[in-house]
Amino acid sequence: MSQDENLAAVVSNAAQDIGSFIRSQREAAQVSVRQLAEKAGVSNPYLSQIERGLRKPSADVLNQIAKALRVSAEVLYIRAGILEPAEPGEVRDAIVTDTAINERQKQVLLDIYTSFCQQNEAALLEAAQAIGAQDTTEVSEADEEPTTEQDQSPVQRPLQLTQMPNNDPRA
């Protein structure tokens, strides 16, 4: 199989995949092809061709279809091979698939969630670096010999007995 034939097969598979996904989403929403085409602003025959894998829709058309189906445009872009999938995660998946919020709200939530995750990773890295630096300092201090009696810890210092003043009046 030549490279051109290989590429054509990949594009055809992507078109069929996105088409079948759109069809399954449309059926789950209990919407007819005609109704979805009208909501998305595309022709009925064109949508039918997309669903059967005969046409590969542009990003704009996918966005219109996503809005009409109330699904994430990102999901359709990934299915169509326009975007690479992001890191999987339960929170991310829940936000993307939630039908109670619109695309703008989903994007804002994802941005906030990503920001929190990045802050937490930075804090963990900073803490790990601080612990690593502290361990290095403690090891190097333990290796050094104390130079004066004051530098010695109480455990290392010899006991010094001092006479306590006698405040007892009977003595």
Place 104 in a pLDDT band, splitting at 50, 70 and 90: confident
| Phi-psi map region of 41: left, alpha, beta (phi>0 left; psi -120 to 50 alpha) | left
Locate the domains of the chain by residue range.
10-80, 88-133
pTM: predicted TM-score of the whole model, two decimal places: 0.48
CATH class of 10-80: mainly alpha
Query: How high is the pLDDT of residue 137?
Result: 58
Query: How high is the pLDDT of residue 50?
Result: 94
**pLDDT tens figures, 128-140:** 888 877 765 555 5
Percent residues over pLDDT 90 in the chain: 27
